[in-house]
Each structure stands twice: as C-alpha cells, then as structure tokens.
C-alpha cells in the first residue's frame, strides 16, 4: 500500500484504530532516539514537516533499504479487528493488517528532496524491545532506550 500523508510536528504514528489517545508525549530522550513507543502506538520522528510518501509492507523478513538513513524497529500488536492507522496530526490513513504480534520497522529517507518512509510489518511471536537499527546525524539515542511513552 502506498499513500501520502501531511506530516506535522515531525512525527508519523502507527496505532491501533480503537486507541482513544493515539499520540504520545515526546520527551527530549524520545526526540534524541527518534521514536516514542507504548502498547498500541508507535511514533516515529521524521526529518521535517510536509508531505511524506508512505509505503506499508507486510513481509516475512526485513531486508533494510540501503537508501534508508534512519531505521527503527518496535513491537506492535494489531488488534483482533485488524485495523490500524498511520497518521500525523494533520492527516490519517486506515490500513488492514491480519491480527497478531508484529515487529514494525520504520525506514526513513529523503530522495530528490522528498521524504519517504517504509513501514514494514513482520509477524513475530517474540518481537523484542524497540531498537534503533540505523541512526543518522540527527539522532543520538541514549542506552538503554526509553521504551515507554505517555499519551499526549
């Protein structure tokens, strides 16, 4: 699935569609690591506001894009109704994914002055903790990562 959303506050969020408060409160540590996560909601920091080309992929394995400057992986539970959303403050897109536990990988880059991201859903019985796989110069993750955010 390919679509475009209008990013505001330099964030794109993947969340379970039924979640009442899908956006998270970012702290300075969240900004430095490039994501804010809590059960049912994963927010990823983008390079800037404006149009973002989003590709949603369901895969059995992730081969990280060589063009991605930023790569972050988080666990994500798709609820029994199989509905999730990808959003920023200004716009949202509903997606349908088979219910279950996944690792969601956020791959982010800029090509020809247009920012893009791939959101790769890989089913996993043990998705592990969030991880920064590839960090660009704007990120400075502190170890251990801050893995739990509060609703905004």
Cα 147-25-122 angle, rounded to 5 deg: 45
* 118-137 average pLDDT score: 96
Q: How confident is the model at residue 59 (pLDDT cuts 50, 70, 90)?
A: very high
The reported pLDDT for the residue numbered 61 is 87
The reported pLDDT for the residue numbered 43 is 98
Q: What is the pLDDT of residues 60-117, one digit of tens each?
A: 988 899 999 999 999 999 999 999 999 999 899 999 999 999 999 999 999 999 999 9
Instruction: Report d(CA 107, CA 141) in Å as an integer.
Output: 16
The reported pLDDT for the residue numbered 90 is 87
Which position has the token pair 């063009």?
A: 67
The reported pLDDT for the residue numbered 139 is 98
Share of the chain above pLDDT 70, in %: 100
Tell me what the pLDDT averaged over the chain comes to.
Answer: 96
The reported pLDDT for the residue numbered 63 is 85
Task: Enter the pTM of the model.
Answer: 0.96
Instruction: Report d(CA 133, CA 127) in Å as an integer.
Output: 14
Q: Which domains does the chain have, with CATH numbers?
A: 2-151 (2.60.34.30)
Whether residue 144 is preceded by a cis peptide bond, meaning omega within 30 degrees of 0, is yes
Q: What is the pLDDT of residues 21-31, one digit of tens each?
A: 999 999 999 99
Q: How confident is the model at residue 132 (pLDDT cuts 50, 70, 90)?
A: very high
- Length of the chain, please? 152
Buried b (16+ CB within 10 A) or exposed e, 60-84: eebeebeebbbbbbbbbebeeeeeb
Q: If we measure between CA atoms, which residue out of 68, 58, 73 comes closest to residue 131?
A: 73
The reported pLDDT for the residue numbered 39 is 96
């Amino acid at each position: 699935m390919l679509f475009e959303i209008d990013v505001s506050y330099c964030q794109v969020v993947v969340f379970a569609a039924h979640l009442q408060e899908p956006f998270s409160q970012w702290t300075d540590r969240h900004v430095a690591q490039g994501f804010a996560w809590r059960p049912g909601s994963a927010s990823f920091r983008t390079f800037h506001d404006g149009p973002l080309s989003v590709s949603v992929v369901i895969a059995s394995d992730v081969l990280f894009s060589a063009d991605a400057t930023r790569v972050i992986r988080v666990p994500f539970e798709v609820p029994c109704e199989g509905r999730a959303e990808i959003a920023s403050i200004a716009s949202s897109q509903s997606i349908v994914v088979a219910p279950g536990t996944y690792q969601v990988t956020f791959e982010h880059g800029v090509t020809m002055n247009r920012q893009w991201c791939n959101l790769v859903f890989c089913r996993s019985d043990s998705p592990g903790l969030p991880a920064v796989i590839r960090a660009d110069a704007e990120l400075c993750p502190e170890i251990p990562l801050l893995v739990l955010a509060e609703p905004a």
